[in-house]
A and B are shown apart, each in its own frame.
Chain A
Amino acid sequence: MATITIDGQSYEADPSANLLQAALTLGFDLPYFCWHPALGSVGACRQCAVRQYRDEEDTTGQIVMACMVPVADGLRCSIVEPEAAEFRAEVIEWLMSNHPHDCPVCDEGGECHLQDMTVMTGHCKRRFRFPKRTFRNQYLGPFINHEMNRCIQCYRCVRFYGDYAGGSDLVAMAAHNHVYFGRHEEGILENEFSGNLVEICPTGVFTDKTLKHHYSRKWDMVSSPSVCSHCAVGCNTIASTRYGSVRRILNRYHHDINGYFLCDRGRFGYTFTDAADRLRRPLLHPDRERDVETVAEPAEAMKRIREIFSEATGVAGIGSPRASLESNYALRNLVGSGRFSSGLPRIEHDATTALLEAMRNAPDGPGSLRDAERADAVLILGEDPNNTAPRLALALRQSVRNEPIRADAGSRIPRWHDRAIRDFVQDRKGPLFIAWPASTRLDDLAAGTHRAAPDEIARLGFAVAHAIDPQSPAVTDLDDSASDLASRIARALKEADRPMVVSGTALRSPAIIAAAAATVHALRRTGSGGSSFLAVAPEANTIGDAMLEGAPLETLEQQLESGEVDTLVILENDIYRRLPAPATDRIISKARRIIALDSIATATTNRADVVLPAGSFAESDGTFVNHEGRAQRFFQPLPPAGDVLEAWRWIGRIAAETGTSKQNEWDRLDRVLTALARDCPELAPARDAAPDAAFRANGQRFPRAPRRFSGRTSILSHLSVHEPKPPEDSDSPLSFTMEGHSGQPPAALVSHYWSPGWNSSQALNKFQSEVAGPARGGDPGARLIPGNGPNERPSTAIPAPVPDDDQTLLAVPCYEVFGSDELSARAPAVAERIPKPYVALAPTDAEHHGLDSGDSLNLLIGELRVSAPVRLDPKLPPGLCGIPAGMPGWSVPHLPARASVVT
């Protein structure tokens, strides 16, 4: 630590930081715009001016920009010095000369960094008396609203969108006081991280268009800490609500996971919670084969369930990777572990089991996104992160800068000095290798790509392991280009300080995962201490579900076949998405009775005898286990309305109703977690993912409503001027009102970022132990998988080369960030971005079959017929075809599989 002096007081500060960062960490209110903790310093806005003195003798000093001054021992400066303060106020006056002052009609009003900084500098009287310059706004797609007149030209948007996220369609144009940030022509912002502009922009230029459709001020919204339910990364979010519906999602900082950024699927997918096909009442289907349904009272539904249970010869439960750990566990407990299915078909189940095995055997446990961001050589084996774990792709995009920066011993540019680092690094990139059947949106960074069938990708991985450590078995019959690539990859990984291998279940290949694990262990054996394995899984709780060790769906089919089981309880799982329709139909028709719990109407709930309305993430408390085995709690921002209950609570009631458990044993989240910890020791730490319901600060709960919540007296005033009794919360230490502890809660319970003078989300600085560091009191969540040390050698069954096959194509799943996720695809804004159905085909194969782009292609995959227009992908190797996974309306499960072209 360095000792610095600010306004005559001595402080300890981190010498790797800049003065602005240090001042903010120390709690000073120093205004800024262009600096961002994740983007670094560029010195553009000149807002953070302070006076710096050479030494104790120096009384004159000079005005400097704190963001450009490295912290060093003996540094002396003044923030309050009058001329520096006057200059800061003047910067605001300049910025305001063209700003429209339209705060009352601006979506940002009340949580605007520009407002905060204006107040902070004390500027209040406007002297500029000339006409303001104006701009034309652009249509930027369903996510982002554009209002350029408000722009203060801090350049953060293009620095995030272009430099950080790799987008090319948002740029700075023109010069002097006409600098314009937009697209060359109107149109949808292409980059899947565009939503971060909403939080990056210090004022109301880029605002959340989905919020605009049901706008509410920050101070009128009730919020809770949540966890994104749209992939397995588990980004932390804040979900805000009003009038019983979710109004927006904001980033909730997690040092090891999402940091400051979310993907657009996670930010804009939330409106599925309010879609027309939400289930809100129990439904009965007297005849499953006919489309007749009746709405039932909960008691009536329960009565029917009691009947079904009493008639059943055996009840099995189908869990779900998108349901919480508590709900899955409650179901397993209800039906018994022998009759509990993970809800996955064998092909996915086996890959997930292999992944979990690799995670448990990883030397230091599974890697985090923060590890990915810090890696200096990366091999991606069989994943397409932009589409399967988008936030990971953003982390990997940063990783390629590490090697060029490390390689530079001479220039000694501090890491935060973004301008200079980029001038120095230019387009040099560290090693990133991608093995995936088709092209990916990280290819522009890649030092090498291997586009091949899943087994060939696994073979490349094993070859890399062998090239790193000859003790790993050799791969026979590998072609020359793959061999060369394997040695290049091996060399890059060995030379790195922090090599990383990314792999997952996207291609449903246990062999790929084994190859990735073999590579990590080979690195560890040859002395690469920092090597890590990063696991990618598809759904929010894929890992938590897998850790409950249910059987694949096919096992249930056998149990139904044998008559051991005749009744199913299906938890938040549309099994038509998991198995081909004919196979699903067989399961459904063999089950005499089906009880389904879900938040959304699906093909599966349509065929259940009884449907219970389960809460979405917005009406539930629960735990997801993310891709790194971290248990994370999400809390409901909305009290469940009407008949909606958390799925685990429904299951608890069923258990009580049917006599499988004592009355009310399951009516508290903490009780479910306690039982879980008792039954599953590996999952026991999940209890500590967040404070329990009894937790208080000074005897007080933590408010979900903001300090200045105005809604409580006005929101329902058209019905009654009496204030209704606030809903109670038996499952968390949060309250639904603004009353409670006024200080900062533990990070797991943060519902909003606010601090005196800081009304925008940039108040976050005040919630961190140091700027851009861990949350005060530690980051939330509990790691369940600690790692297994260096000596484990995973199994190595190297697949044989993929034989040439002129007759059929190998159909592999490919993924779409907008479309492949079941829930977000139901959100209207996301739905606008879902591509039309397609089958990706190599041009040579297309020619072979006389097909051109857009022509209809008919495929027979097992017993399933698939028909979609051809999309030519020149990067796809011949013999393969790519079919998007999980697309709404035409999900094609059970890939990879051989497909024959039907004419």
Chain B
Amino acid sequence: MERPLTELIDLREGPLAREAYEHAGGYEAARRAVCDMPPREVIKTVEDSGLKGRGGAGFLTGMKWGFVPAGDDAPRPRYLICNADEMEPGTFKDRYLMEGNPHQLIEGMIIAAHAIQAEIGYIFLRDEYHRSAEALRRALAEAREAGYLGDSVFGSAFSCDIHLHTSAGRYICGEETALLNALEGRRAVPRAKPPFPPVVGLFGKPTIVNNVETLCCVPHIVSKGSKWFRQLSLTSDGGTKIFGVSGRVKNPGLWELPMGTPLREVIEGHAGGMRGGYRFRGVIPGGASTDFLVEEHLDIPLDFESVQKAGSRLGTGTMIVLDDRTCPVGMVHNLERFFAQESCGWCTPCRDGIPWIQKTLAAIEAGRGRPDDIELLHMHTRHLGPGRTFCAFAPGAMEPLQSALKYFDDDFRRHIADGRCPYNNHQTGNSNGNHHH
């Protein structure tokens, strides 16, 4: 089984240095793309590979790049931004890639920058990722020193530099337009779309924002071809995917697996199944803002389309498992507390709706729930849906809640009927199966 993204990574050895990376064939793809491939051809190759954004939305990367206005009179400069603000609860895949092989990301960015003819690149990094910052800073210096960044990249006519920007920290900065505002020094509040960033982006100029894992795929697509990339996958979404599992499983962790690997294989195989004494109850498959999947979904292949069909989203592909001794209300409360805290405060439903949800869930969990609360929660999941809020934050926050209300309805009703949390006999309220990094 091929693991192009992670095969060179050994965290015990620290980040891979440029020499070792190049020894393994690193920067060959970037050199070829910049020196020998016209930008159109790079975009075409990535488009043909079927690469979809790994940040969670799953939009076709090549197609996104194609939206940048071409031609001599197109606005300049253009920007390429790597979204490394990995703050989705339960998600730690980008950190692994940056700490393990920072040059792979830089090479991907050089190719992407060439494809859209961007002069300036930024890596927008989550504030807490100190090790990643250190690794990237060193790798950027090495790449600059080698002439892979700066004026005339690889001796070509193309010039591009990449800067590391460490975020001041907020979940909403991972939303690509809020990220742009943050980078400009403004309040990290999402922007209206349209206009989309490829047309009006950073400082009002064409901008592409890609996730770390997405960009890390790019050198391999260029060097081995789009056909090769497609055949890595078990389904129509190309490539491998880094899947992660946390929760009460025997072997929590990350694995690079073919796109479309069945959910059961990830949880029961790679993660080793549930720990002794715990039974599987459900899983949020792609970070905090995805719907629960339950027992009946264990055989679905993990790709964008299949997970969506099952009523959830692949998201980041890093999942949190709920066991039978953890209170689902408590788990959802914990997630909603996170969302209530991280709402940027721009639009009403999100700013004032999620805190209400959080307070209601806290009351239910504390045994002060009221029968009407269930309907109130349903009302919120309905009215905080897509299109009703300014960005996708609140709809994302509703996904675990709406699916919990669907699959764990009895739990909610028992809390209210009994006036206490039925799980409290076994464990304290805080230990509810949600792992923050």
Q: In the complex, what distance in Å separates the CA atom of A47 from the CA atom of B390?
A: 12
Decide if B345 touches A64 in the complex (CB within 8 Å).
Answer: no
Decide if A176 touches B341 in the complex (CB within 8 Å).
Answer: yes
**Chain A contacts of B289 at CB under 8 A?**
none
Give 1 or 0 for each of A143-176: 1 = CB within 8 Å of chain B CB: 0000000001101000000000000000010111
Known contacts A153-B351, A420-B191; A127/B344 CB under 8 A: no
Decide if B346 touches A44 in the complex (CB within 8 Å).
Answer: yes
Q: In the assembled complex, how far is the CB of residue B206 from the closest CB belonging to chain A, in whole angstroms? A: 10
The reply on B147 being an interface residue by CB < 8 A is: no
- In the complex, identify which listed stretch (B122-130, B193-201, B242-250, B290-298) lies at the interface while the others stay far away: B193-201
Known contacts A63-B387, A177-B355, A411-B195; A46/B348 CB under 8 A: yes
Which residues of A in the span 81-115 have a Cβ within 8 Å of any Cβ on B?
86-87, 90-91, 94-95, 97-98
**Chain B contacts of A68 at CB under 8 A?**
192
**Chain B contacts of A420 at CB under 8 A?**
191-192, 194-195, 200
Q: In the complex, what distance in Å separates the CA atom of A545 from the CA atom of B61?
A: 69
Pairs of residues from A and B, 8 with the lowest C-beta to C-beta distance, nearest first: A94-B352, A179-B345, A419-B192, A176-B343, A426-B204, A130-B359, A175-B345, A424-B200
The reply on A524 being an interface residue by CB < 8 A is: no
Known contacts A420-B191, A420-B194; A91/B199 CB under 8 A: no
Decide if B388 touches A177 in the complex (CB within 8 Å).
Answer: no
Decide if A176 touches B345 in the complex (CB within 8 Å).
Answer: yes
Query: Which residue, A98, A177, A178, has most C-beta atoms of chain B within 10 A?
Result: A177
Q: In the complex, what distance in Å separates the CA atom of A45 from the CA atom of B343?
A: 14
Contact of B348 among A91, A172, A411, A419 (CB under 8 A): A91
**Chain A contacts of B346 at CB under 8 A?**
44, 155
Question: For residue A410, which residue of chain B has the nearest CB?
Answer: B69
The reply on B170 being an interface residue by CB < 8 A is: yes
Q: In the complex, what distance in Å separates the CA atom of A90 from the CA atom of B375?
A: 14
The reply on A49 being an interface residue by CB < 8 A is: yes
Known contacts A176-B341, A424-B204; A94/B387 CB under 8 A: no
Q: In the complex, what distance in Å separates the CA atom of A153 from the CA atom of B189?
A: 14
Question: For residue A99, which residue of chain B has the nearest CB?
Answer: B352
Q: In the complex, what distance in Å separates the CA atom of A62 from the CA atom of B388?
A: 9
**Chain A contacts of B199 at CB under 8 A?**
410-411
Known contacts A46-B349, A90-B379; A175/B192 CB under 8 A: no
Q: In the assembled complex, how far is the CB of residue A401 from the closest CB belonging to chain B, in whole angstroms? A: 13
17 contacts across the A-B interface (CB closer than 8 A)? A45-B348, A46-B348, A62-B387, A63-B387, A86-B383, A87-B383, A90-B383, A91-B349, A94-B356, A127-B372, A130-B356, A175-B345, A176-B342, A177-B343, A410-B199, A413-B195, A423-B204
Known contacts A46-B389, A94-B352; A153/B345 CB under 8 A: yes
With A42-B192, A175-B343 known, 4 other A-B pairs at CB within 8 A are A63-B387, A87-B388, A95-B348, A177-B355
The reply on B347 being an interface residue by CB < 8 A is: yes
Q: In the assembled complex, how far is the CB of residue A97 from the closest CB belonging to chain B, in whole angstroms? A: 5
Q: In the complex, what distance in Å separates the CA atom of A423 from the CA atom of B192?
A: 9
Q: In the complex, what distance in Å separates the CA atom of A87 from the CA atom of B385?
A: 11
Q: In the assembled complex, how far is the CB of residue A127 from the closest CB belonging to chain B, in whole angstroms? A: 7
Question: For residue A155, which residue of chain B has the nearest CB?
Answer: B346
The reply on B11 being an interface residue by CB < 8 A is: no
Known contacts A174-B345, A411-B199; A98/B352 CB under 8 A: yes
Q: In the complex, what distance in Å separates the CA atom of A155 from the CA atom of B388?
A: 18
Q: In the complex, what distance in Å separates the CA atom of A424 from the CA atom of B346?
A: 19
Decide if A176 touches B195 in the complex (CB within 8 Å).
Answer: no
Known contacts A94-B356, A176-B340; A46/B345 CB under 8 A: no
Q: In the complex, what distance in Å separates the CA atom of A90 from the CA atom of B347?
A: 13
Q: In the assembled complex, how far is the CB of residue A614 from the closest CB belonging to chain B, in whole angstroms? A: 52
Which residues of A in the span 166-204 have a Cβ within 8 Å of any Cβ on B?
172, 174-179
Decide if A46 touches B194 in the complex (CB within 8 Å).
Answer: no
Q: In the assembled complex, how far is the CB of residue A786 from the closest CB belonging to chain B, in whole angstroms? A: 42
**Chain B contacts of A177 at CB under 8 A?**
340, 343, 345, 351-352, 355
Known contacts A177-B343, A413-B195; A426/B203 CB under 8 A: yes
The reply on A417 being an interface residue by CB < 8 A is: yes
Decide if B352 touches A95 in the complex (CB within 8 Å).
Answer: yes
Contact of A176 among B184, B355, B390 (CB under 8 A): B355
Which residues of B in the span 180-236 have a Cβ within 8 Å of any Cβ on A?
180, 184, 187, 191-192, 194-195, 199-200, 203-204
Question: For residue B344, which residue of chain A has the nearest CB?
Answer: A175
The reply on A740 being an interface residue by CB < 8 A is: no
Contact residues of A with B, CB < 8 Å?
Answer: 42-47, 49, 62-64, 68, 86-87, 90-91, 94-95, 97-98, 127-128, 130, 152-153, 155, 172, 174-179, 410-411, 413, 417, 419-420, 423-426, 428
Q: In the assembled complex, how far is the CB of residue A77 from the closest CB belonging to chain B, in whole angstroms? A: 13
Q: In the complex, what distance in Å separates the CA atom of A68 from the CA atom of B200?
A: 17
Question: For residue A152, which residue of chain B has the nearest CB?
Answer: B348
Decide if B69 touches A46 in the complex (CB within 8 Å).
Answer: no
Size category of the B interface is 35 or more
Give 1 or 0 for each of B350-385: 1 = CB within 8 Å of chain A CB: 011111100100010000000010001001000100
**Chain B contacts of A428 at CB under 8 A?**
204
Known contacts A95-B352, A130-B359; A419/B191 CB under 8 A: yes
**Chain A contacts of B383 at CB under 8 A?**
86-87, 90
Question: For residue B360, which residue of chain A has the nearest CB?
Answer: A130
Contact of A63 among B340, B353, B376, B388 (CB under 8 A): B388
Q: In the complex, what distance in Å separates the CA atom of A98 from the CA atom of B359?
A: 13
**Chain B contacts of A87 at CB under 8 A?**
383, 388
Question: For residue B188, which residue of chain A has the nearest CB?
Answer: A175
Query: Which residue, B180, B345, B363, has most C-beta atoms of chain A within 10 A?
Result: B345
Q: In the complex, what distance in Å separates the CA atom of A422 from the CA atom of B372?
A: 43
**Chain B contacts of A413 at CB under 8 A?**
195, 200
Question: For residue B339, which residue of chain A has the nearest CB?
Answer: A176
Question: For residue A426, which residue of chain B has the nearest CB?
Answer: B204
**Chain A contacts of B379 at CB under 8 A?**
90
Decide if B192 touches A417 in the complex (CB within 8 Å).
Answer: yes
**Chain A contacts of B204 at CB under 8 A?**
423-426, 428
Decide if B356 touches A49 in the complex (CB within 8 Å).
Answer: no
**Chain A contacts of B344 at CB under 8 A?**
175-176
Decide if B388 touches A94 in the complex (CB within 8 Å).
Answer: no
Decide if B348 touches A49 in the complex (CB within 8 Å).
Answer: no
Q: In the complex, what distance in Å separates the CA atom of A45 from the CA atom of B346?
A: 8
Q: In the complex, what distance in Å separates the CA atom of A98 from the CA atom of B372?
A: 20
**Chain B contacts of A410 at CB under 8 A?**
69, 75, 199
Query: Which residue, A174, A178, A424, has most C-beta atoms of chain B within 10 A?
Result: A424
**Chain B contacts of A43 at CB under 8 A?**
192, 347, 390
Q: In the complex, what distance in Å separates the CA atom of A391 from the CA atom of B95?
A: 53
Q: In the complex, what distance in Å separates the CA atom of A386 from the CA atom of B69?
A: 41
**Chain B contacts of A178 at CB under 8 A?**
345
Decide if B348 touches A44 in the complex (CB within 8 Å).
Answer: yes
Which residues of B in the span 66-108 have a Cβ within 8 Å of any Cβ on A?
69, 75
Q: In the complex, what distance in Å separates the CA atom of A177 from the CA atom of B390?
A: 15
Q: In the assembled complex, how far is the CB of residue B121 from the closest CB belonging to chain A, in whole angstroms? A: 19
Known contacts A46-B390, A176-B355; A127/B343 CB under 8 A: no
Question: For residue A92, which residue of chain B has the nearest CB?
Answer: B348
Decide if B351 touches A423 in the complex (CB within 8 Å).
Answer: no
Contact of B351 among A179, A424, A425 (CB under 8 A): A179
Q: In the complex, what distance in Å separates the CA atom of A423 from the CA atom of B205?
A: 9
Question: For residue A62, which residue of chain B has the nearest CB?
Answer: B387
Q: In the assembled complex, how far is the CB of residue B75 from the closest CB belonging to chain A, in whole angstroms? A: 8
Q: In the complex, what distance in Å separates the CA atom of A417 from the CA atom of B349?
A: 21
Contact of A423 among B200, B345, B347, B356 (CB under 8 A): B200
Q: In the assembled complex, how far is the CB of residue B306 from the closest CB belonging to chain A, in whole angstroms? A: 25
Known contacts A43-B390, A176-B355, A425-B204; A94/B348 CB under 8 A: yes
**Chain B contacts of A153 at CB under 8 A?**
345, 348, 351
Q: In the complex, what distance in Å separates the CA atom of A295 from the CA atom of B352?
A: 63
Q: In the assembled complex, how far is the CB of residue B279 from the closest CB belonging to chain A, in whole angstroms? A: 34
**Chain A contacts of B347 at CB under 8 A?**
43-46
Q: In the assembled complex, how far is the CB of residue A171 from the closest CB belonging to chain B, in whole angstroms? A: 9
Q: In the complex, what distance in Å separates the CA atom of A569 from the CA atom of B188?
A: 65
Q: In the complex, what distance in Å separates the CA atom of A87 from the CA atom of B387?
A: 12
